[in-house]
Structure 1
Amino acid sequence: MSATDFASLPLAPEQLQTLAALEYHTMTPVQAESLPLMLAGRDVIAQAQTGSGKTAAFALTVLHNLNVAQYAVQALVLCPTRELAEQVAEEIRRLARSQANVKVLTLCGGVPTRDQSLSLQHGAHVIVGTPGRVLDHVSQQRLDLTQLHTLVLDEADRMLDMGFQAELDAIIEAAPVKRQTLLFSATFPPQIASLAQHLMQAPAHIEVAAIETQAPITKLFYQLSASQHGAEAVAHVLLAQQPNQAIVFCNTKREADSVFTYLHNAGFSVQALHGDMEQKDREETLLLFNNQSVRILVATDVAARGLDIKALDLVVNLGLAHDVETHTHRIGRTGRAGEAGRAISLLTTQCEYKFHLLQDTAPAPLSLQAFPDAAPTGKPAPASMATIQIQGGKKDKLRPGDIVGALTKDGGLAFEQVGKIKVQAKVAYVAVARAKAKHALALLTEDKLKGRRFRARLV
């Protein structure tokens, strides 16, 4: 047995069976270095990038420490954004399959406080949330942390960047002094060192290689002339590259909206994502992108970190990010899970100083090329999948298996034509092959699910 096998860890047999079923066999570097320490009860500081496997590392520790018979909040995971919190909670639930009755609750902004208060009254073992909303519940004495024994700060540097220092201090003040604290951060600036010093006990400090050393990313830099329109240049790149999925990063919301409008009018399968959008619209946009129902996402840096977007083959930067670290996180969205990626940056005349900063920190020389003159001959490709929203969810006892059954029975869709399914409290989403979308919609609306008919629509 290798030292990097999950089976080498002191985990319960049921947990190891769950890991095997999920095809988690060999630990990533951050897991191999941190898990033995965390499972032994040590406080740990881990410098790890998005996509390194850090979520599974602390999720396994949280579950290992749980006493399910004790119905109290025993673990708290703090995240900078709601999107990341939802992904972390989902990963903990996946890994908790073998443990009966583990209740994981998310507490984030964008959801009515009253609904969360009712959920808290029913109890939970693990809380995953954003600092502001968690502190709100603690301050109003709706969330009791007296039984807490595991505290996790995920993307701690990002939380400090977003101004959550006061909230973190107040939450830590309400937590027991005797606890295990795990801090994960992509960087280790002085603020993180100061935070760790006053909330951790003799922590072990580990650091793993950045993502881009784990997968090949081709980086290209093109100079735009003063007369070239940025959105037109982005369309040129997308037509020439024909990515299966890509993110186009813009520095402002206005620019993101402008690029989105241009690409949409040019026939691209595209959605925008930025901070001015309603939370439910942001979540639906990410869902469409993740289930292959949208090819291109035009985003501000709200999407640069903490979003679980896999198999992304192209990142386009319209202009350069405000700092080197943000640029690194942007291009780190591609070239993941060992797959080759490509990052193309389109530099305006205002980018000269930022480009020099990148050159100073790059391990190899960066080449700035003239933007290609030849016009691409391709056409925008449609998304491979379409998404159907069903007006029923967990509260209606609806399960993914019910939806798959309705779509595939009696000569309906082939199993491989059904994509990702997400069942929420009151609604559910299913991705289907685009060519079969209307047929799938008819199957779901004309037949019964759980003995009743549900309304459904194409998103």
Structure 2
Amino acid sequence: MSYIPPHLRNSSSTTTVTTRRTQSPPLTDTNLSHSSSNSTSSAPSSFSTFNSLSLRTSASVARTISVPQPVFPQWTPSDRVLRFTPDQIEEIRSQLKINVSVASGSPPAPAPIESFEDMCLHQSIMKDIAHHEYTRPTLIQAQAMTVALSGRDLLGCAETGSGKTAAFTIPMIQHCLAQPPVQRGDGPLAMVLAPTRELAQQIEKEVKRFSRSLESFRTAIVVGGTKSADQGSELRAGVDVIVATPGRLIDHLQQGNTSLSRISFIVLDEADRMLDMGFEPQIREVMHNLPEKHQTLLFSATMPVEIETLAQEYLISPVQVKVGKVSSPTANVSQILTKVSASEKLCLWRTHLRLRNPTNPFH
């Protein structure tokens, strides 16, 4: 299922192979449906310029490609968690200060789980969790991971430093392990979009951290600042997961180096920053061209109207999980403003660094 830009979608010479999710049957607890629905990276082009970009015509664009159907396994936690009553679940959320909401008519969200063992993860993932000495889930992990593992769409709001990256990378790896193997020429099974190269690099490192024991598990980072040709070769060889900035991903889709035909798990990380940086057209193009059956996780530190609109359009009956204060700076980051003259600035900066780190080379 190749990427099709707007100006080719209605052409008689092409066959549209994907549609945006618009509706889904009601979700139930026993049968969750997935149907319907870093230097900073280079600045994105305007929407009009983006729409005018040409895509190399190829046979893969002109025909429907046969790909394996995605698998959405029925996940269940441990028996101990299954015995939790609704009152017990609410008490745990209250103690952890986790706010959870679902749309009217949707099934309740899965219970938060305070132990990795109770999440019934793949044994290789558990091995890597133990190797890196992760003892228990953070607050966002305790709830967001169970939502993601259950197959539900997720709108997650958490502060920087809350552990949200592992909250989506671990369920993403578990999801990929249930899929038919990736072959050469296949597109990835899962994708993470991030606003900057630096964040994408951090996410890829986290994916590799929890797939360390999986010898055949392949990831690719698709960002600016590195050779596009090398990235293209890696993508054509077939990878399980792509971590990308929107602009560079679009480049590779247009060049035919990869496709979205097998994507069944997508994460939009720091979506508010991506919108601030002008990546909304690219995000919409990617989401519009995804296969009909897929799971979407959207994470944002703030919840402006634009994020709510994006969530309403591309998430189906999502579970909203909030940890910490939304639309406010994180308490883990302190900001101090000091007024100084231009002549004093360099000296004060060096003094500050020396106090923060006595081994600083700028003495």
> Percent sequence identity over matched residues?
35
* Alignment partner, residue 290 of structure 2: 175
SS of 1:151 mapped into structure 2: strand
Residue in structure 1 matching 2:352, options 219, 223, 237: 237
SS of 1:230 mapped into structure 2: helix
In structure 2, relative to structure 1, the CA distance for the partners of 1:19 and 1:227 (3 Å cut) is closer
Deviation readout 1:393-419 (Å, 9 max, x if unpaired): xxxxxxxxxxxxxxxxxxxxxxxxxxx
* Alignment partner, residue 130 of structure 1: 245
SS of 1:51 mapped into structure 2: coil
Residue in structure 2 matching 1:155, options 270, 275, 285: 270
* Alignment partner, residue 437 of structure 1: none
> Aligned-pair distance for 1:236?
3.4
SS of 1:269 mapped into structure 2: coil
Deviation readout 1:183-229 (Å, 9 max, x if unpaired): 111111111111111111011111111598776x77766554x5862
Deviation readout 1:110-167 (Å, 9 max, x if unpaired): 2222222211221111111100011111223321111110000111111111110111
In structure 2, relative to structure 1, the CA distance for the partners of 1:18 and 1:154 (3 Å cut) is same
| Greater relative CO, 1 or 2 (CA 8 Å, sep 6+) | 2
SS of 2:128 mapped into structure 1: helix
CA contact (8 A) 2:260 2:289 kept: yes
1:200-349 equivalent positions in 2, closer than 5 A? 200-209=315-324, 222-224=338-340, 229-239=344-354, 241-243=355-357, 269-270=361-362
* Alignment partner, residue 142 of structure 2: 32
Residue in structure 2 matching 1:70, options 178, 181, 186: 181
Aligned AA for 2:217?
A: V
SS of 1:229 mapped into structure 2: helix
* Alignment partner, residue 109 of structure 1: 224
SS of 1:85 mapped into structure 2: helix
1:388-407 equivalent positions in 2, closer than 5 A? none
CA contact (8 A) 1:138 1:171 kept: no
SS of 2:238 mapped into structure 1: coil
* Alignment partner, residue 61 of structure 1: 171
Aligned AA for 1:130?
A: T
In structure 2, relative to structure 1, the CA distance for the partners of 1:125 and 1:21 (3 Å cut) is same
Residue in structure 1 matching 2:155, options 45, 61, 78: 45
Residue in structure 2 matching 1:7, options 117, 126, 147: 117
CA contact (8 A) 2:264 2:293 kept: yes
* Alignment partner, residue 258 of structure 2: 143
In structure 2, relative to structure 1, the CA distance for the partners of 1:227 and 1:13 (3 Å cut) is closer
CA contact (8 A) 1:55 1:91 kept: yes
Calculate the TM-score normalised by the size of structure 1. 0.50
Q: Quote the Cα distance in structure 2 between the aligned partners of 1:227 and 1:92.
A: 44
> Aligned-pair distance for 1:238?
3.5
SS of 1:66 mapped into structure 2: helix
> Aligned-pair distance for 1:70?
1.6
Matched, 1:83 2:198: yes
Aligned AA for 2:129?
A: L
Q: Quote the Cα distance in structure 2 between the aligned partners of 1:218 and 1:204.
A: 31
CA contact (8 A) 1:44 1:183 kept: yes
Q: Which moved more, 1:205-214 or 1:60-69?
A: 205-214
- What is the RMSD computed on CA atoms of the aligned residues? 2.4
Structure 2, unmatched stretches of 5+, are 1-79, 82-112
Aligned AA for 2:165?
A: T
Calculate the TM-score normalised by the size of structure 2. 0.63
In structure 2, relative to structure 1, the CA distance for the partners of 1:236 and 1:41 (3 Å cut) is same
1:426-445 equivalent positions in 2, closer than 5 A? none
> Aligned-pair distance for 1:181?
0.2
> Rg larger in 1 or in 2?
1
Q: Quote the Cα distance in structure 1 between the aligned partners of 2:242 and 2:264.
A: 12
SS of 2:348 mapped into structure 1: helix
Q: Quote the Cα distance in structure 2 between the aligned partners of 1:94 and 1:227.
A: 44
CA contact (8 A) 2:159 2:330 kept: no
* Alignment partner, residue 55 of structure 2: none
> Aligned-pair distance for 1:78?
0.4
SS of 2:217 mapped into structure 1: coil
Aligned AA for 2:206?
A: E
Aligned AA for 1:36?
A: T
Q: Quote the Cα distance in structure 1 between the aligned partners of 2:255 and 2:319.
A: 34
* Alignment partner, residue 302 of structure 2: 187
Aligned AA for 2:357?
A: P
SS of 2:287 mapped into structure 1: helix
Q: Quote the Cα distance in structure 2 between the aligned partners of 1:146 and 1:130.
A: 19
Residue in structure 1 matching 2:311, options 193, 196, 218: 196
CA contact (8 A) 2:218 2:241 kept: yes
Q: Quote the Cα distance in structure 2 between the aligned partners of 1:218 and 1:194.
A: 30
Would you tell me which structure has more strand in proportion to its own residues? 1
Q: Quote the Cα distance in structure 1 between the aligned partners of 2:236 and 2:210.
A: 25
